Amino acid sequence: MRTPMIDYLHLLLGSVAEDAGEVASYIPELELADPDRLGIAVATLDGEMYAAGDADVEFTIQSISKPFTYALAIADQGLDAVLERIDVEPSGDAFNEISLDRGTGRPRNPMINAGAIAAHALVRGDDAEARAERILDLYSRLAGRRLSIAEDVFESELSTADRNMALAYMLRTVGKLRGDPADVVRGYTRQCSVSVTVRDLARMSAVLAAGGRTPEGDQVFDPAVNRQVLSVMATCGMYNSAGDWLTSVGIPAKSGVAGGLVGVLPGQVGIAVFSPRLDPHGNSTRGVRLFERMNHDLGLHLMAPAESARSVSRRLERDGAAVHEIAGDLHFTEAERVLRGFALEPVGDAPVVVDLDRVHRANDIARRMLLEGIRRLHEDGHDVRIVDPWGVLGSAETGSGELVRGEQAHGGYVPASFPDVASAARA
Ligand code: GLU
């Protein structure tokens, strides 16, 4: 079978044949872009990539760099230090607006230029080149291939960077930027000049969708940092059309003036499109229409969440034991259903088997809920046996990424894997 995914992407590109808007011209080199380019890539969290149109054409990342560099700044300095210098409020202003909070002097958010320049300055590195190199390493790790800087765009942008220079000097006057403003703008401009394709951007977005982890299992961002970045993208990623975007498309996103636009559906998918003509907000005209159409066709809106699986757990009787067979990824709502099942077990010493053979992932809250349920079954007198071949209970990650052992979490009763019980339960 030929997957309908690719046909759908071609159909999608065909649906935005008409284009409007202008290619960015305030950076001379960007004006040379072919305005008719159109490409799309969709990356799943397990590493599958679907692409159509100009998916291998390179363009500069521009402002799509901002969320990734913001993540690096937090990793380098800690969230509190970053929040001290950059706020997280949507500004409602254009991307290059001189928009600092009156009281604190902080840029409103890291997605507008003022905040992005401040974030770049917080990345560790002695000078522009050192910071840009670390940033390039990070983007390459996210994209899964070695990226490079488009030197022609960099030179062109730096030679016309007066406004960004003004922002950087102003940030220094209000104490929100340490170091030499010209050096910071140089580094920031290098960061914006990283050359990418929609395939690269879709993969980078898929890492954000996966809580900071690549399909190969490389945990690039701490889950808490990743969440911070996605939240800021959701509220501030589309400049002064952020409200429009969140209501009509409804996923964290970021656009760049070279015509790139990425969207992240947490837990599901990373999407990138490329079409250089921009609307008056500075967002790719066809890019926005593609996302609106996908939202309609694929039900991507964050505020229309998929209902959790109803059939997460079932109870069987086997060899005198009550077997709770649990399946699927576990979060709060699924764990609550499992606990409901446990609660129906009458007090007594009848053996209970908790079979997690079909569970590969549980978030921290689901894991703790299950452990507490198991502890209570045990307390009620049951001989509880746990089938946990994937180590869901013993090694689930907490929000901070550290491992919490079963014993710490539930007071002395050590859950273990009993593969032999698994075969017994299935026999
Ligand atoms: N490098 C561009 C600038 O600082 C980024 C703007 C954008 O992509 O929106 O003006």
User: Is the beta carbon of 257 within 6 A of some atom in ligand 1?
Assistant: yes
pLDDT at 411 (0 to 100): 34
- The mean pLDDT of 229-248, rounded to a whole number, is 87
Report whether 146 contacts 203 (CB < 8 A).
no
Distance between terminal CA atoms of the chain?
36
How far apart (Å, rounded) are the C-alpha atoms in residues 270 and 238? 16
Instruction: Determine the distance from the C-alpha atom of residue 375 to the mean position of all C-alpha atoms in its chain, rounded to a whole number.
Output: 35
Instruction: Report the Cα 306 to chain-centroid distance in Å.
Output: 18
Ligand 1 closest atom vs CA 62? 8
Q: What percent of the chain has pLDDT over 90?
A: 65
Structural domains of the chain ordered from first start: 4-298 (3.40.710.10), 312-423 (3.30.750.24)
Decide: 63 in ligand 1 pocket, CB within 6 A: yes
Q: Where are the alpha helices (DSSP H) in 179-331?
A: 181-192, 198-209, 223-236, 242-248, 285-298
Instruction: Report whether pLDDT(424) > 60.
Output: no
Tell me if 26 is assigned to a ligand binding site: no
Question: What confidence tens digit (pLDDT) does each residue in 3-49 have?
Answer: 888 999 999 999 998 888 888 888 888 888 899 999 999 999 999 99
pLDDT at res. 4: 85
pLDDT of residue 358: 93
**3-class SS at 242?**
helix
Both tokens of 199, joined, read 């395939």
Distance CA 237, CA 44 (A): 21
> Mind listing the pLDDT tens digit for each residue in 123-154?
999 999 999 999 999 999 999 999 999 999 99
Q: Within 10 A of 149 (CB to CB), how many other CB atoms are there?
A: 20
Other beta carbons less than 10 A from residue 231's beta carbon = 12
3-state secondary structure of 38: coil
Tell me the CA distances in angstroms from 227 to 120, 221, 224, 291, 369, one per residue in order.
19, 10, 5, 22, 22
Over residues 153-192, the pLDDT tens digits come to 999 999 999 999 999 999 999 999 989 999 999 999 999 9
Q: Widest CA span of the chain, in angstroms?
A: 79
291-305, 311-325, 341-355: least confidently modelled range: 291-305
Checking if the pLDDT of 292 tops 70, the result is yes
Specify the amino acid at residue 97.
E
Closest CA to 312 of 341, 334, 332, 344: 334
Question: Burial of 427 by CB count in 10 Å (0-12 exposed, 13-18 middle, 19+ buried)?
Answer: exposed
Alpha-carbon distance 402 to 47, whole Å? 25
More confident residue, 87 or 242: 87
- Asked if the model's pLDDT at residue 58 lies above 50, the reply is yes
Q: Which atom of ligand 1 is nearest to the CA of 113?
A: 4
Which of 62, 160, 195, 240 should be mutated for ligand 1, with most atoms under 8 A from CB? 62
136, exposed or middle or buried, with CB in 10 Å at 0-12, 13-18, 19+? middle
For residue 308, what pLDDT band results from cuts at 50, 70 and 90? low
- Tell me what pLDDT residue 20 has: 85
